[in-house]
Structure 1
Amino acid sequence: MIENMMFNGMSAASPLQMNSGAAQVQETPGQAMEQFGSYLQDAISQVGAQEQQVHKMNDQFLVGKVDVDQLMIASEKSMLGLQLTAQVRNKAIEAYQEIMRTQL
């Protein structure tokens, strides 16, 4: 099963998780936006790390230290992460364009 590195290790302060309990702390929109921004930044850095790992594995494959199936799995994970990042970017651009088209 392919495991996506972008969604692993989500912190307890993640905006995608719901707070439970009696003592809920209200976040300001600025704080929520900052958390979301840092989440996206972490996700993009993980995609970059996957790409670097594939390049290292490719070099190791050329000298015979890595099997072809390990290299292919790593490259597919990296490609899927990049495709997911591109789709998130496309949706963000579409949302921005839709907001700009709204009339006040």
Structure 2
Amino acid sequence: MSVGPIGPSLPAAPRLQLEDARQRPPQSSGGPSTVADTFGAMFSDAIAQLDALQKNADSLTTRLAAGEAVDLHDVTIAVEQANLGFQFAMSVRNKLIEAYQEIARMQV
């Protein structure tokens, strides 16, 4: 059994996004529409990953409750990954709302 390094680690969802971003080839810098498309695609990918984590945790929990042979350790890990992903998404949402409110308060 291997033991991971001691230190802070990223939750599952952000780590997957970081790995995905590293594997993508660099895109040419374009106008605002390209940035908006990339920004929108990033959020779509993040929501899809969060949804997959939630569905996996739900499936394992349902199977465990139905009496199927499911490792309790795997269920606990899946539920915690989904929980961390959801907490991360909520903090990103809250920061976006704060940024929007700050921009709305700016005087032009």
Cα displacement (A) at 1:44: 0.8
Partner-residue secondary structure (3-state), 1:66? coil
Pick the aligned partner of 2:82 from 74, 78, 85.
Answer: 78
| RMSD of Structure 2 on Structure 1 (CA) | 2.0
Alpha-carbon distance in structure 2 between the residues aligned to 1:73 and 1:26: 39
Cα displacement (A) at 1:3: 5.2
Pick the aligned partner of 1:32 from 28, 31, 35.
Answer: 35
Q: Is contact 2:11–2:85 with CA below 8 Å preserved after alignment?
A: no
**1:12 corresponds to:** 24
**2:48 corresponds to:** 45
CA offset digits 1:29-63 (Å, max 9, x no partner): 22111101111111011111111111110122122
CA offset digits 1:40-90 (Å, max 9, x no partner): 111011111111111110122122321111111000000000000000000
Number of aligned pairs?
Answer: 95
Task: Please state if 1:64 is matched with 2:68.
Answer: yes
Partner-residue secondary structure (3-state), 1:9? helix
Alpha-carbon distance in structure 2 between the residues aligned to 1:97 and 1:25: 31
Task: Please state if 1:96 is matched with 2:89.
Answer: no
**1:16 corresponds to:** none
1:12 is matched by which residue type in structure 2? Answer: R
The structure where helix makes up a greater share of residues is: 2
Task: Show structure 2 runs of 5+ residues with no match.
Answer: 5-9
